[in-house]
Structure 1
């Protein structure tokens, strides 16, 4: 169902959004592993847009940047200063900056497709992309720990030093689940559920607006003004959430890497 379409059931009453919003009709290659839906196109669009913007913004760098180059540099400086260097320090931040920058802008642009007319759904509102990004963060965490502390990383992660030996019966399963199981799961669900809820709210307000304006009668149509206003406000809020979730995802990725590099291992 398109978010701006009228929402009514067969009896003419209002029908709110449902989980079917996240299973749109197949547009191309139906019945194959390469099915393309509106969500797939949103992901393609976000990916191409990120690549195009950064290619155009960095292909001819100048000492005195123009407006477009300045915007690109501001975005890169934000990730470097507020995520990479702030959490990992200058040396390690430089090593992992390409990954953190990719994660931040990939999440950001895919989140923002939720307010792009024609797509009206975030590329991160279905579990595939959040899960892949969480796996990338998880693998990076394991890689960083094993490379920095090859002989002690796993042991000290599961059996923290300084804990009385008889408590390891309790500590071991807690550390195993919290460190190596829950981290990628919570990273995935945090991003996914924020985008799901945001999309459903926008669909609710705009379908209600359509219903009040075009299907209700008399003074009930005035309620459409209120739902339209709420839809506009929540669209702005969705932009804020899109930026915040991109920041949180990249920040947590950096935090996990920092924990793996910690000298206590």
Structure 2
């Protein structure tokens, strides 16, 4: 499938040229609206479609609520309950989780649909394979976490985030800088890079398998052409594994968001 968008290439000496990350950065869809481009490309289209799909699904699923739910209402309630109970309630806690369920639900399904777009023919582009999108999502969580912490604890939030309970005073000169770096610098970077790196790497692996299969079939001879069947099987296996990773990363990102929110609510760390 990806081979349709990334045809096999041959180098100057007839060798195989693998696809690169630049092949995923497609040109703007509407480049003529601004001299330097509009920024509205396939990635932005995927983001907008994903937001629309999530919103429309939950609006339709909740439109005619019944005591005995129909199929669509049942699916919507089950999806909502998954995030509400297994992430919100279990991580944040019984007393504090309810106000954060809408945020967690929106994050999970928005990221999930965006990731799965990388496995849908014609779209075949996970929006978070571009680092800017991952930074934006992690930045949203980071700002929420900071604001919540200061609203709950005031200036004492800085102490809670940088001075772990039970650490001997003599070690604080070492621990405090490490906690500042870990919580305020490394945390948003790892939160975003985990999502970006897995989406980019998985998509690139599938692209290489697809283009490699096409190259072997078209340019190989004898047993070399037969190896194309092996790369095809490997590509299918990696495709299925990538679907699993797309779901898992949506869950992990939302789970970490709940952990950060819970951390800004508690009195001690």
Report if TM-score (shorter chain) is over 0.5. yes
Aligned counterparts, 1:107-146, within 5 A: 107-146=111-150
Among 194, 210, 217, which residue is 2:198 paired with? Answer: 194
Q: Distance in 2 between matches of 1:254 and 1:122?
A: 23
Query: Secondary structure of 1:90's partner?
Result: coil
**In the alignment, what sits opposite 1:100?**
104
User: What are the superposed Cα offsets for residues 178-233 of structure 1, whole Å, 9 maximum, x if unpaired?
Assistant: 01111000001000000010000100111112112223233422222211111111
Match of 1:241 in 2: 245
Q: TM-score, normalised by structure 2?
A: 0.91
8 Å Cα contact 1:39/1:119 also seen in 2 = no
Between the aligned partners of 1:3 and 1:129, the Cα distance in structure 2 is: 25
**Structure 1 residue 157, shift from structure 2 partner:** 1.7
- Closer, same or farther in 2 for the Cα pair 1:219/1:160, shift >3 Å? closer
* 8 Å contact kept, 1:124–1:191: yes
CA contact (8 A) 1:6 1:208 kept: no
Matched residues in 2 for 1:18 and 1:173: separation? 38
C-alpha deviation, 1:10, in angstroms: 4.3
Equivalent residue for 2:86, pick from 70, 82, 86: 82
Q: Give unpaired runs (5+ residues) of structure 1.
A: none
Moved more, 187-196 or 120-129: 120-129
Q: CA RMSD in A?
A: 1.8
Distance 1:89-1:156 versus aligned 2 partners, 3 A rule: closer
TM-score by length of 1: 0.93
For residues 214 and 44 of structure 1, the distance between their equivalents in structure 2, rounded to whole angstroms, comes to 37
The CA distance in 1 between the partners of 2:45 and 2:146, in whole Å, is 32
Q: Which residue of the partner structure matches residue 156 of structure 2? A: 152
Q: Deviations over 1:111-133 (max 9, x none)?
A: 11111111211011001221111
Which residue number in structure 2 is paired with residue 24 of structure 1? 26
Q: Which consecutive residues of structure 2, in runs of 5 or more, have no partner in the other structure?
A: none
C-alpha contact 1:3 1:120 (8 A) present in aligned 2: no
